[in-house]
Amino acid sequence: MTQESATYAPMTPEEDDRLVEAEFQDLLEGYLQSNHRRKVEIIEKAFRFAKKAHEGIRRRSGEPYILHPIAVAKIVSREIGLGSTSICAALLHDVVEDTDYTVEDIEHNFGKKIAVIVAGLTKISGGIFGDRASAQAENFRKLLLTMSEDIRVVLIKMADRLHNMRTLGSMSPNKQYKIAGETLYIYAPLAHRLGLFSIKTELEDLSFKYEHPGAYRQIEEKIRATESNREMVTNDFLIPIREKLDAMGLSYDAKARLKSVYSIWRKMQTKHVPFEEVYDLYAVRIIFDCDDEAQEKSICWNIYSAITDLYRLHPDRTRDWISSPKANGYQALHLTVMGPDGNWVEVQIRSRRMDSIAEKGFAAHWKYKIGGGEEESELNVWLRTIKDILDDPNPNAIDFLDTLKLNLFSSEIVVFTPKGELKTLPNGATVLDMAFELHSEMGTHCIAGKVNHKLVPLSHKLQSGDQVEVLTSQSQTPKAEWLNFLATAKGRTRLRQALRREQQPMIERGRKLLEDYCTANGEELTNERLTKMMGFFHINNRDTFLLKVGSDEIDVKEYKFNYTQPRENKGIISRILRFGGLKKNDTPASSPREDSSQVAPVPDLDTKKPYLLRYGEHEQNFVLCDCCNPIPGDDVMGFLNHDNRVEVHSLTCPRAQALKAAYGPRIVTTMWEEVRHKFLANVRIEGIDRHGILQELIQMISTHLSIDIRSLHIDAEKEVFECRLGVLVRDTAVVTDLCDKIKKIPGVQSATRVS
């Protein structure tokens, strides 16, 4: 099959049938080449059953629907490495959801094991998320709870999502945004945590391709343009290493692995550098054959020794994942050395067994290949920490997903209790995280800690190898600000539960005040009314809103029952006033004019046509968001809020990622109309300080480029300066041109736009 099902050409029924049979035979051939027991008969039976069930049904791209289950089964078999039970479940995974067959029918025909997996997949069908926030969080809980019953449910769901991403081209743009955002926010981190690294990388790249098609194409073109030079440098680097390894008598593969398009782009964004300045574009991987698992560690260190004899080692970038494997089962020895071109090169050393686990995932080897799963695995430990989150009754979907991501996408450190007990925590964990890891009561009563026998505050960040003693006091009570320095999902969940117990009386008072205010105005406090009130005050968490009302932080009388104009516009004006230093009576060129008689049309969420963002003298049909400050030319998306107004976010905004994952059906594809107004953009400039550089900078911006400066803040320390600049521009092209010209000023090292 092709990568993009959108390219499917209509065929006759006979041609369709031949294509389906050919794809199924290809699936069988791949299965027969694996090391699983040959159970062709039941796979054939599952295929015939599914083919009949989906007869006459087509995908959006026009192809016969049965090709999708076959493709999912191929991924399950070849890319994850599962056997006949999982292949059958993959072939049948949509039968119960989309046809009249039941789970009982599956059990009667294929046995209990396959039926349980299909039932688990049916529970979480239609993606993780539904239409309402509470339903989304609940569906995701179902997904995670099925992991502890049978991990294969999630692995097949991952294969299903991968194939959907490979064929995303046939969907409408707003569906592409929703599915790509959901994938990047949840599925890719989950694949990472399960050790499915190749699947995680492809999910990230495909999500990026649909979210930022222009940037994706540019990076791909630059990768192709630099390929020959990169191969030459790689060969120069590997030739002496191969000579050493050959002399050691090893059987091995040594190859360079290019970073994914998405990871290159992420590096460009986080480091604020162009493609040409991303020097670690590739890593070298050495995979050796070894029949004796006990010898693997010593061979890894022998190869390490051979490489460091040849090249200079970076002392802070050696990672020993052999002695202490990652929680997802990943094992390898990483080192970074100086290459022949003067750039640092990461080298990954692993055995063939380690490589298999790294590529196909520890989960696939967990219970069904290694001795029936009698020994407790790291995955079981992780599943227990997930259950801590599942027990949290917090109904807010975005909070739930954010908390979950702390567990999904964290690298680990290892610390010790005073008695020498080993604890694994995410990187960035604090003394307070350790307290909650040990016991909820220790967390809520923690006052400080002793790290390596030295007294430290509870916000102190721990390092790998620290010995940590938690100090508590019964007079201590949990504080809301503690959330700012908790890195573990478990800690945040337990702290929120403790805070809710403490805050419950105030929350109840807030509810009573709201009910009384509604009654006094002849209204009833329904869920819909409460949601509208939360939208008016810009609070997306119900308990937080009730608490603020109950503690008199919010005066509920500000809310008018017949209001039409949301408060977001005022936020934009106040932001421009704040950055621009204008007087309140001034009307800045970049501020929208409020006109309560103007009611923007509600966008049609089902159309493929993008929603046109208009910005005129008397009309503005969108709300710019403070979290990312998008301007014309940025890749943006719209979100239909509770007031039926379109909030505009940059696609790179973390808030946008969360909205796409949690509220997918309310995402709107958008397009900028040509505008004549100006928007605020922020630029960060760094360089070597010298006399007169500030004057040159201001003169060039305001005189030569005729750009209005709205704020300028500069800090200089010794010979280095950093400048934060706010300017009014029409679109991103002006900002890009400005940054390019600033970088030509002698002494300036970098100039980049920041949110």
User: Which residues are CB-neighbours of 293 under 8 A, at least 6 positions away?
Assistant: 351, 353
In this structure, which amino acid lies at residue 300?
Answer: C
**Helices 112-123/103-110 angle, 10° precision:** 150
Burial of 583 (0-12, 13-18, 19+ CB in 10 A): exposed
Which position among 4, 97, 104, 523 bears the catalytic label? 97
Which backbone phi and psi does 472 adopt, to 5 degrees? -125, 165
DSSP 29: H
Structure token pair of residue 478: 């949990």
Tokens 């923007």 correspond to 600
The secondary structure of 424-481, three-state, reads EEECCCEHHHHHHHHCHHHHHCEEEEEECCEEECCCCECCCCCEEEEEECCCCCCCHH
Q: Which residue pairs from 372-378 have beta carbons closer than 8 angstroms and sit at least 24 positions apart in sequence?
A: 377/329, 378/325, 378/326, 378/327, 378/328, 378/329
Burial of 537 (0-12, 13-18, 19+ CB in 10 A): middle
Structure token pair of residue 653: 């905004």
Which position among 98, 107, 441, 696 bears the catalytic label? 98
DSSP 3-state of 233: helix
Q: Is 555 a catalytic residue?
A: no
Q: Are 615 and 677 in contact (CB under 8 A)?
A: yes
User: If phi over 0 gives left and psi between -120 and 50 gives alpha, with beta otherwise, what is residue 240?
Assistant: alpha
Sheet holding 748-754, edge to edge: 708-717, 720-729, 679-688, 748-754
Q: Is 105 a catalytic residue?
A: no
DSSP 131: S
Q: Are 174 and 665 in contact (CB under 8 A)?
A: no
Structure token pair of residue 288: 């050796």
Q: Which DSSP string corresponds to 625-670?
A: -TTT---TTS-EEEEE-TTS-EEEEETT-HHHHHHHHH-GGGEEEE
DSSP 483: G
Residues taking part in catalysis: 97-98
